[in-house]
């Protein structure tokens, strides 16, 4: 998220209020219950039960049935394990479209070989 440089006054204050709310903790709970992460897990943790934190962030089997983002239905059943492991393991596998992948140099060399053949 970002704020346009043209925003001024009360609109700018409101934009910062919104950004601050977004990373305040509770929105991270809603995101976690959908299987996503937010940039401030340390602020999210106090709003999650130990069972939820263990499942969504700890990579542990669900200690009990866990509700989804609507808080009314059991989305995760006791004993289920989240694919991909704990938060650290999952985040260590993230690749962003504008990063250089491990095979980049190899592919460039092969492409140059192809073009010069």
90 in helix, strand or coil? helix
The per-residue pLDDT for range 82-91, each reduced to its tens digit, is 999 999 999 9
Would you give the DSSP letter of residue 5? T
For residue 58 the two structure tokens come to 């700890």
pLDDT (mean) for 41-69? 95
pLDDT at residue number 40: 92
Asked whether residue 97 carries a pLDDT value surpassing 80, the answer given is no
45 pLDDT tier (thresholds 50, 70, 90): very high
pLDDT at residue number 50: 97
Confidence (pTM): 0.72
102 pLDDT tier (thresholds 50, 70, 90): confident
For residue 44 the two structure tokens come to 């999210």
How far from each other are the two terminal CA atoms of the chain, in whole angstroms? 46
Asked whether residue 29 carries a pLDDT value surpassing 80, the answer given is yes
pLDDT at residue number 93: 86
99 burial via Cβ count (<10 Å: 0-12, 13-18, 19+): exposed
Specify the residue for token string 């700890």. 58
* Stronger pLDDT, 49 or 101, i.e. the higher one: 49
Mean pLDDT, rounded, of the chain:
91
pLDDT (mean) for 24-49? 94
Instruction: Quickly list DSSP for 16-50.
Output: HHHHHHHTSSHHHHHHHTTT---S-HHHHGGGS-H
Sorted by sequence, the CB contacts under 8 Å of residue 44 that are 6+ apart come out as 25, 28, 29, 31, 32, 38
């Amino acid at each position: 998220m970002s704020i346009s440089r043209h925003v001024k006054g009360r609109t700018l204050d409101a934009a910062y209020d919104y950004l601050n709310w977004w990373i305040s903790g509770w929105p991270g709970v809603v995101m976690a219950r959908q299987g996503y992460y937010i940039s401030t897990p340390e602020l999210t943790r106090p709003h999650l039960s130990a069972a939820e934190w263990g499942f969504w962030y700890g990579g542990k089997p669900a200690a009990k049935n866990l509700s989804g983002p609507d808080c009314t239905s059991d989305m995760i059943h006791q004993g289920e394990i989240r694919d991909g492991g704990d938060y650290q393991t999952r985040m260590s596998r993230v690749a962003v479209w504008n990063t250089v992948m491990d095979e980049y140099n190899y592919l460039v060399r092969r492409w140059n070989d192809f073009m010069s053949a």
